[in-house]
Amino acid sequence: MPGLNPQQREAIHYLDGPLLVLAGAGSGKTRVITEKIAYLVRDCGLEPRNVAAITFTNKAAKEMQERVGRLLSRSTAEEMQISTFHSLGVRILREDAGLLGYKPRFSIFDAADCAGIVGDIAGTIDKGTLRHLQAIISNWKNALVTPETAGRRATNELEARAAQAYLSYEATLKAYQAMDFDDLIGLPVKLFNEHPRIAEKWQNRLRYLLVDEYQDTNGGQYQLLKLLTGVRSRFTAVGDDDQAIYGWRGADIGNLKRLPAEFPALKVIKLEQNYRSTARILKAANSVIAHNEKLFDKRLWSELGHGDQITVTACKDNEAEAEGVAMKLQAHRFEHRGKFRDYAILYRSNHQARLLETQLRNQKIPYVLSGGQSFFDKTEIKDITSYLRLLANADDDPAFIRAATTPRRGIGAATLQVLGQYAGERHVSLFRAASEEGFAHRVQARQTEPLLAFCQFIGRLRQRAGREPAQQVLPDLLKAIDYEAHLRDHDDDRTAQTRWGNVCEFAEWLNRKGEEGGKTLIDLTQSIALINLLDKQDSDDMDAVQLSTLHAAKGLEYRHVFLVGVEEGILPHRESLDPVKLEEERRLMYVGITRAQRSLHLSYCERRKRAREFIPGEPSRFIAEMGKEDIRFSGGKQAAEPDKAAGSARLGALKAMLAGNKR
């Protein structure tokens, strides 16, 4: 293992008990995890199928698997359980959820499906209210709080409303033979607690666990890990308390505190050498995070040299800030002969991107916006996916409604309303209710005919989808529903062509996945809900500036970082000023600083336009916490004497660039 420092080697070789690796930003934690996986298989004799590595995103899991494949072999890496928490949960539940009363082909509902159910139960269509209700229910589920307990814990009217909805929501999901994403963690925990022999089976199967980004685990994930490791406690948890920034979505930094208490034999190894950033950047990061109470003392250091000064620019307003960032980025790139992909512009909230996008387009700077619409969130893809979901689970009511009405086939809203009422009375799915005589007596024959024809079509297709290759069944489905004609009937030619192109791309992707793994359409459908983007949509190879929120940027790195809107009310956010939330905001600032490898540029506005008025602004307290020694201020009260030489150089570079000078 050449190129590893002593602490990294120790973390890889330690197998005498539970291990916590405190891995600072840029300290090579992914390499430690992948090298340890290889060590377990190659040197310690563990079978690949007995090793599990768990992380939080599909992208991270894919990268980890590719790295392990290069260290061992691709086939060996594919034998391992290298996945997200939710993918592991699906694997467990597909095999054993029958003990909880579920079919193996249960559905996984996305946020939109769940919002529809919660909205029906709570009697609201207001998106803001629905968002709050869903968030409250999700946090309860992540913390393994039951609906009954939630009712007792409710402290205000909104929580009381959420608790009422929670009980019915859970019953509805179960009736639909469906789960939401939170269930993919909570139900395996329930399964293991109620059926210890099943827990033991999985403990014997997954003999060593490695957990990435441990500081981001919630209560449910922590319990799942405990149950999976069992009394042997053979695991390595890798995390950083200074990068715990997801408390708002249920992550519990207390899980780090619990480890030494619940695992007395726990060994702690710190990775403090940073391989990413210059000394100045790390000094600023260390200075900021030192203002937080520390779970574990840790101080990053680097051998990459002192590096450039950090710049802090005071801007007249947010329009001037966006324009200034675009111009400064262009000049910096020209001066350093860089590529656009070397640059990232980071911000606290999504709304800050709009003005930045405008200025980048004006300057003809290519960019990629992180957190845009997922391919699977496109209307046309959700339409087709509804058919696939129905093939996998005929009891999936939201999928039934969408598929039955898209394209239109003479099944009206009145018919579906009667069907829904009848299905509710009978406690059966819409699909099953449609073929019962009791329903036929409630509507006219002309109403039942298209409904029965649809159900028969789905029934025939289900038989094929479970045994024939995906590449044989899917084209027949698309042809039978004539989806291309549906698009041309409802959109202009250009839009219809684009949307049909997306459907064809989706079909090609499914066919390719089916051919690679010899999978049926139903096999593929069961994993679609856990996929965020098509393989080809990875934008890493594009020469474009990355625009991203600070939350989405965690785990990434860029040669040059522009961090905008570093002012009070934004970073830290005006709703996060109590001591606990303020510490998380400071960690968010720390994450932003440590994304930078070679240069870091901060900006704030002296006034910011909100709606039609300007609100006075002041620099974030975090700027002062960075110290002044390694920072060059420009504009505003903190500015030093203007750097005329630097200004002239930048102006000259811009003029040369605009003149097309290719020195």
3-state secondary structure of 369: strand
Read out DSSP for 38-74? Answer: HHHHHTT---GGGEEEEES-HHHHHHHHHHHHHHS-H
Q: Over 465-496, what HEC string results? A: HCCCEHHHHHHHHHHHHCHHHHHHHHCCHHHH
3-state secondary structure of 181: coil
Do residues 315 and 321 touch, judged by C-beta distance below 8 A? yes
d(CA 447, CA 470): 32
243 a catalytic residue: yes
Look at residues 291, 339, 144 and name the one whose alpha carbon lies nearest to residue 227: 144
Give the dihedral of Cα atoms 35, 243, 547, 62; nearest 10 deg.
30
**Which uninterrupted H or E stretch holds 434?**
helix 430-434
Q: How far is CA 499 from CA 489, 511, 533, in A?
A: 12, 18, 16
Q: Which two tokens stand for residue 581?
A: 């939330």
Angle at which helix 470-481 crosses helix 445-465, to 10 degrees, equals: 160
Other C-beta atoms lying within 10 Å of the C-beta of residue 376: 16
Do residues 215 and 253 touch, judged by C-beta distance below 8 A? yes
515 a catalytic residue: no
Catalytic residue of the set 10, 30, 31, 309 = 30
d(CA 114, CA 369): 26
3-state secondary structure of 244: coil
Catalytic residue of the set 96, 182, 183, 213 = 213
Angle at which helix 483-490 crosses helix 379-392, to 10 degrees, equals: 150
d(CA 603, CA 584): 21
3-state secondary structure of 293: coil
Q: Which two tokens stand for residue 263?
A: 């695992």
Read out DSSP for 321-357? Answer: HHHHHHHHHHHHHHHHT--GGGEEEEESSGGGHHHHH
d(CA 500, CA 494): 10
Catalytic residue of the set 243, 278, 330, 359 = 243
Catalytic residue of the set 595, 598, 608, 621 = 595
Q: Where are the alpha helices (DSSP H) in 123-271?
A: 127-142, 147-153, 157-175, 183-194, 196-205, 219-229, 254-262
232 a catalytic residue: no
The residues pairing with 53 across neighbouring beta strands, listed in sequence order, are: 82, 210
Q: Which two tokens stand for residue 458?
A: 């789905």
Catalytic residue of the set 110, 212, 216, 380 = 212
Residue written as token pair 């992909």: 341
Do residues 386 and 399 touch, judged by C-beta distance below 8 A? yes
Catalytic residue of the set 8, 29, 217, 383 = 29
512 a catalytic residue: no
Which one-letter DSSP state was computed for residue 485? H
- Where in the sequence numbering do the catalytic residues fall? 29-30, 212-213, 243, 595
